[in-house]
Amino acid sequence: MSFHPGQRVVCVSTFTNIPPGANVPDVGKIYTVRSRRLDIGVGFDEPVEGLTLVEIVNGIAPCGLEWAFYSGRFRPLDESRLDQFRIHLAPIKQREEA
């Protein structure tokens, strides 16, 4: 699955093998893709898509780039489903107007 900068995504899986002090996404939270790149990830035989996020900035990895998160742990956010959810959170008077 390919992501693009500006796309909103939801984290669907926890992260392991994270360097000490690194900030990581929380499962179920929504994030915005800042950039994407092909990385050689630990435990992978071939390059995988890595994402950096607007909401999380980490330090520089030994390769000289900012730590990126494996894209397989994210799913695109379905904005239409989110709008339906927001209607149910609105006060009753606003629901009647919608």
pLDDT tens column, 45-72 = 777 888 999 999 988 877 788 888 989 9
Decide if pLDDT at 18 tops 80: no
pLDDT value for 89 = 64
Q: What is the pTM of this model?
A: 0.73
**Average pLDDT for residues 71-97, to the nearest whole number?**
69
Give the whole-angstrom CA distance, residue 78 versus residue 42.
Answer: 30
Structure tokens at 75: 């799913």
pLDDT band at 91 (very low <50, low <70, confident <90, very high): low
Q: In the 8-state DSSP scheme, what is residue 60?
A: B
Mean pLDDT on 1-19:
87
